[in-house]
Amino acid sequence: MFSVARVFSFSYGHRLYRYEGKCRRLHGHNARVRVEVQGEDCAALDDQGMALDFVKLKDTLGRWLDESLDHRVFLAREDPLVPLLTDAGDPPICFDGNPTAEAFAKLIYDRALEEGLNVVRVDFWETDKCRATYSRP
Ligand SMILES: [Zn+2]
């Protein structure tokens, strides 16, 4: 089986609502994301000798990460900061739960599917030392 992966990075702000640790405070991260995909036929390569052109990953998922997630603030929908930031003209992106590394990994996995990518796994590093993974069930 062939698969390919590409690494992306973006910056974001968030906080964990109703959390007792220091992540309850609004703060930022420089995230690193590794997206692994298979080609349409995971046992064969295309006529260029590729499972999937890396450019396709950059032009689909990479563009979305850059245009939609980079330099945005992510909050739980019930976080009282949501209306404050919205009223200030910079609405956050809301998650149904807390914007954890696990939630980002799942969000990016689901977007890869929407982009038509045969995604296998998404690794999301919130810091150099902390990673969450969502992979094909
Ligand atoms: Zn954090």
Residue 85 confidence (pLDDT): 98
**Domain containing 117 — which CATH number?**
3.30.479.10
Measure the CA–CA gap between 72 and 108, rounded to whole angstroms. Answer: 15
Task: Tell me how far the alpha carbon of residue 66 lies from the centroid of ligand 1, in angstroms.
Answer: 19
pLDDT at 130 exceeding the cut of 90? yes
117 assigned to some structural domain = yes
pLDDT at 40 exceeding the cut of 90? no
Encode 19-42: b = buried (16+ Cβ within 10 Å), e = exposed.
Answer: eeeebeeeeebebbbbbbbbbeee
81 assigned to some structural domain = no
Number of domains in the chain: 1
38 assigned to some structural domain = yes
Q: What is the pLDDT of residues 71-99, one digit of tens each?
A: 999 999 999 999 999 999 999 999 999 99
Residue 42 confidence (pLDDT): 63
Residues, CB within 5 angstroms of ligand 1 (ion): 23
Task: Tell me how far the alpha carbon of residue 46 lies from the centroid of ligand 1, in angstroms.
Answer: 40
9 assigned to some structural domain = yes
Contact 50, 39 (CB under 8 A): yes
**Residue 115 parent element (H or E):** none
Task: Tell me how far the alpha carbon of residue 95 lies from the centroid of ligand 1, in angstroms.
Answer: 14
Q: What is the pLDDT of residues 15-35, one digit of tens each?
A: 999 999 999 999 999 999 999
125 assigned to some structural domain = yes
**Residue 75 parent element (H or E):** strand 72-76
20 assigned to some structural domain = yes
Can you tell me the mean pLDDT for 55-81?
Answer: 97
Which pLDDT band, with edges at 50, 70 and 90, does 46 fall under?
Answer: confident
Domain span including residue 121? 4-72+98-135
pTM of the model: 0.94
Task: Tell me how far the alpha carbon of residue 72 lies from the centroid of ligand 1, in angstroms.
Answer: 13
28 assigned to some structural domain = yes
93 assigned to some structural domain = no
**Distance in angstroms between the alpha carbons of the first and the last residue of the chain:** 17
Task: Tell me how far the alpha carbon of residue 116 lies from the centroid of ligand 1, in angstroms.
Answer: 30
Task: Tell me how far the alpha carbon of residue 27 lies from the centroid of ligand 1, in angstroms.
Answer: 6
